[in-house]
Structure 1
Amino acid sequence: MTLTSSIPLRTRTARRQRRSGLPKGVLIGVELAVPVALVAVWWFASASSTNAFFPPLRVILERLVQLLGTPRFIADVASSVGNLALSFALACLIGLVLGAALGLVRPLSWLLEPTLHFFRAIPPVALVPIFVSLIGFGNETRILSITIASVFPVLISTIDGIRGADPTLGMVGRVYRLSGSERLLQVVLPAAGPRILSGVQVSLITAFVVMIASEMLGSSTGLGAATLLAQQSFAIADMWAGILLLGVIGYLSTALFTVFRRRVLRWYIASQEQEKNS
């Protein structure tokens, strides 16, 4: 158990209450009701559509089911998800390690931070054509583009989180005679956890956007490439099916990370609720 996670947690019943005071089940129902209502509106509003570029939702869903039964489309989806997962994991690892080094070693930070902020200011999508020109259209280009574009939110949030940690925690670690690695893993990183995971969430969104952009620039594989090819071939139902599936993948990725974040930071969330209710 880390020093920062030793804060007593609230009871399970109290933890299920949100800021609004509504039960967790009601809030989940409201969250689900909004997208269901939007889908229902889309379904009925497009039911009688004769516009070739805006087919009925029923046609789009039927085409999506058909595409999910084809090996090529499944391979495109697997390629996109695989590249996203691998690049996101690499970005988190690099950002966490380099951010911890820059946050703890001030001379190293003074040396590298101006350069890091320069590259951070470049729009992530703008990096894709550069890597395509240097490396080509291979899968390595997409992984490199996604990784570099999404590493900066994790890197910056890790630096800020470590520097913003309560100095008292370091003193407590020295009192308990913890080694340098123990203080880093059991005190510093847990204290910086809320900021780090906020940056990781931004990194996930950035990785998803750059994944689509990298697949649409000269690539022949991936869900982004399949969606663009469908648009260029006037296969409008296929295009809408690809867009819809991209939205579902993005939503599920964010939802899974939100669950993970709440699990990791349950001590922090509980302490914040205790302060507000005290």
Structure 2
Amino acid sequence: MSAWLPVAPCTPRDCAHHEGATRAPLLATALLCAGCALTLLGVLCVPAVLLLGPAHRDLVIRRWAYAVVRSFGVRIRVTGLTAGRAGPGAGELVVANHVSWLDVPLVAAVLPARMVAKSEIRNWPLLGPLAALGGTLFIERERLRALPEAVRALAGALAAGSRVAVFPQGTTWCGRCAGGRFRPAAFQAAIDAGSAVRPVHISYRTTGTNAAGAAAFVGDDPLAASLWRVVTAAGLTAEVRILPPVPAGSEPGRRALARAAQSAVASDSANLPAASVHH
């Protein structure tokens, strides 16, 4: 295992379960079919969407991503600062904690961006082709030597004015704590491009209670099992909080910049410390 390939202590058995109210199997099945159908529709429409201008494209992506999350039966609550589209020479690196596959459409619904994802996702059914067509920057986490090339590609996208979203914990965590530390590689790209870093905190609740277990997608959890947990968890709400930007030049180096962004996300999470509570 390398620093570029972190492993969370969260497991499906210990972390990924829902103990609250559940939906009837028939309704859950209908939501599952609706969510998958809308995701497939997005894959089919990507070539047409790419022909739109930036403003219209962002609007379509936001509405589609919002609809995907809602179609799986998940409510969305967005709080915090608003952020416009990154313009020429003003790229923005969006960094968020990582709990679930739901995090990806949630970020897209609030801050449309090019995503950074592990190369394996390219081969996922439905989501893989959609991610590739949408301009996702894929990284080979197993090859540490590929890291400099990945940082250059990320910096190039930011320098060109793109908004790029990354989950710098490197893997998913159950959401019952602040999670793993933010890896500094992506922050070097922000420094090289002179881009601001936009921290985002994501959490999941049901009726005011932390319900991260229903949404958690950790370890070797099968995607089908995670999908079923989500659609059967009644009242599941995703909360997305957009935090103030951190200028790339405000910290002395990528590690300090990563710590600053991590602390912002962690402190927004029930005042938990930036370090994980898992040991």
**Structure richer in strand, relative to its length:** 2
Which TM class, normalised by the smaller chain length? under 0.3
TM-score in terms of structure 2 length: 0.26
Of Structure 1 and Structure 2, the greater helix share is in 1
TM-score calculated relative to the size of structure 1: 0.26
Q: Which has the larger radius of gyration?
A: 1
